[in-house]
Amino acid sequence: GLGWFGKNTCILNKKLGSWIFLGELILALPLDYDRPALDHCGTCTRCIDACPTDAILEPYVLDSRQCIAYLTIELKGSIPETLRSQMGHHIFGCDICQDVCPWNRKRTSTSEASLQPQPSQVHPSLAELAQLTPQAFKARFRGTPLERTKRRGVLRNVCVAMGNSGNHAFIPLLETLADDEEELIREHAVWALARLRQAGNDATPGRRIS
């Protein structure tokens, strides 16, 4: 087998951990089956313990509706208010359950050119993203995975991240977003404003995202 299902429901490979792409070939040839891989998670529960939204309900059971990756990428509508404060600064996906997995300790960076990040897209500031017009968003993220989530989804997530930042410098930007043409963005901007004003603490302007 290629690997076994980890407690976070990702397939784990002894050499590569969970950082793998799955491919498939459809053949009209008889093939010999190899043996299924054994489970090597043991008593480890790091992925379960680390999940900010408790999306891993129990070993090998994931509630995708609580998963930050789902909430920031796949969900098209409003993020449940009960989960927003637990999302931290994530605006597109989450790899926490993979980052903490012991089987990923030995991972190495790939030299595959097509998998390298575009320098212009690495670590944009929340403030920078919050000011993207529909036209600017299309120009910047055309051909990237963020295009799938669209501006309204990405800026929805940016609003949540700003609200969780504790940074009052984001208030003017959020006030502008509270008047955005997209209702989804307006709703989350209003939530973020209320959260920042209630928090009463401060952080560094232009906080970077990971």
What is the residue range of 91's domain?
A: 1-20+39-104
| Domain annotation covers residue 58 | yes
According to the model, what pLDDT value does residue 205 have? 45
According to the model, what pLDDT value does residue 1 have? 83
Do 1 and 100 fall within a single domain?
A: yes
According to the model, what pLDDT value does residue 180 have? 98
Do 48 and 145 fall within a single domain?
A: no
Radius of gyration of the chain (CA): 20
Domain C-terminal end among 104, 132, 159:
104
Which residues have a Cβ under 8 Å from the Cβ of 87 and sit 6 or more positions away? 52, 53, 68, 71, 72, 79, 157, 160, 161, 164
According to the model, what pLDDT value does residue 115 have? 81
According to the model, what pLDDT value does residue 97 have? 98
Q: How many domains does the chain have?
A: 2
According to the model, what pLDDT value does residue 206 have? 44
According to the model, what pLDDT value does residue 117 have? 81
According to the model, what pLDDT value does residue 204 have? 43
Do 79 and 145 fall within a single domain?
A: no
Domain harbouring 138, CATH code: 1.25.10.10
Report residues of the chain scoring pLDDT below 50: 201-210
